[in-house]
Amino acid sequence: ETGLVNTVLVKDLSRLSRDYLRTGELLEHWFPAHGVRLIAINDGVDTAVQSAGNDYSPIRAVMDDWYARDISRKVRAAIYARQDAGICTAASLPYGYCRNNGQIIIQTESAQHVTEIFNHYLVCRNLRITAEQMNKNGILPPRKGRNGWTSATIRRILQNPAYCGTLLIRVTRKMSYKSDCRIRLPEQEQIAVPVPRMIPDLLFDTVQQFLLENGHAEKQSHWLSGRVMCGVCGSRFIMSKQRLICGGRRRGNGCECRSIMLSGLLAQISDVLIRDGIPADAALLPLLVARVLISGSQITVFVRCRKPVIPGNAYV
């Protein structure tokens, strides 16, 4: 856009993009509008000259897109076959476990910390105090970041059934091979893989009951958490009090998508739904809205269905 590049050289069109819509946008609109020449060596494409390769470029773009879709389908089928056979395909394991020659085993030192977490919460019944105790003891968290142990990290460990010997895989899947956004699968589609047990059933069940009883005292996340995506850099928006901030911008990736007030976003979501003829009752928004995409001043709302199945006669 600044005019520093006037020629783009690629091996073939698939190196530019496997999304035929994106490829067409670049070839037919963006490159000509900015005076950029594209050369795809293997495909014989050169936008600076008239050639047969240029005429076939839209067809090649469609075929490249189809190839990516086909590969994605085959890879998913192969992974699902391994999972159905009881093989753990998870890229990372829960805190306290590791792999040894393909077998999932207990990592002794981390497993001791897991037991400490369960026992400490059993006594104090407070996630924040348990996290502070872990930080005070100088124990590194699962993700060695700057924030150390947090209430959310402690809760994830306490609620993970893997510590009772059942590791759940295939819990989520990508919405599309073109998107990194993931959706949670129903419980009947998830796969349980047996792993070595760390925590007795009685202790685990007791902790779950305490978590349930203390739920009202714990900070609850807003229903929009995890559903708002940045259309510029693809990061998730992070909720900070009453404001949502692009996670990529917060990490310093240079994203230009600015923060937005929660109240303003909720109002815009309601306006979009009403404009499309969808009831925008505040109580129904968590059921209706699957994902929100923010691109500058433009907001796109993806709904689960037109009329979610709910009790009562809300639509009468």
**Banded pLDDT at 117 (limits 50, 70, 90):** very high
Return d(Cα 81, Cα 211) in angstroms, integer.
Answer: 36
Taking all residues of the chain, what is their mean pLDDT, rounded to a whole number? Answer: 83
Give residue 129's pLDDT.
93
Contacts of 155 (CB under 8 A, 6+ apart): 127, 211, 218
> Beta partners for 173?
183
Range in 42-46, 98-102, 281-285 with the lowest mean pLDDT: 281-285
Give residue 50's pLDDT.
81
How many CA atoms does the CB half-sphere of 192 hold within 13 Å?
12
| Structural domains of the chain in order of their starting residue, each with its CATH number | 7-73 (no CATH), 86-217 (3.90.1750.20), 228-303 (no CATH)
Which run of H or of E encompasses 240? Answer: strand 237-240
Contacts of 166 (CB under 8 A, 6+ apart): 192, 193, 194, 195
Give residue 145's pLDDT.
60
Give residue 316's pLDDT.
33
Give residue 197's pLDDT.
93
Q: Which of 109-118, 249-258, 284-293 has the highest mean pLDDT?
A: 109-118
User: What pLDDT, in 10s, does the model give residues 52-62?
Assistant: 777 788 888 88
User: What pLDDT, in 10s, does the model give residues 261-275?
Assistant: 888 888 888 888 888
User: What pLDDT, in 10s, does the model give residues 277-286?
Assistant: 776 677 778 8
Return d(Cα 3, Cα 5) in angstroms, integer.
Answer: 6
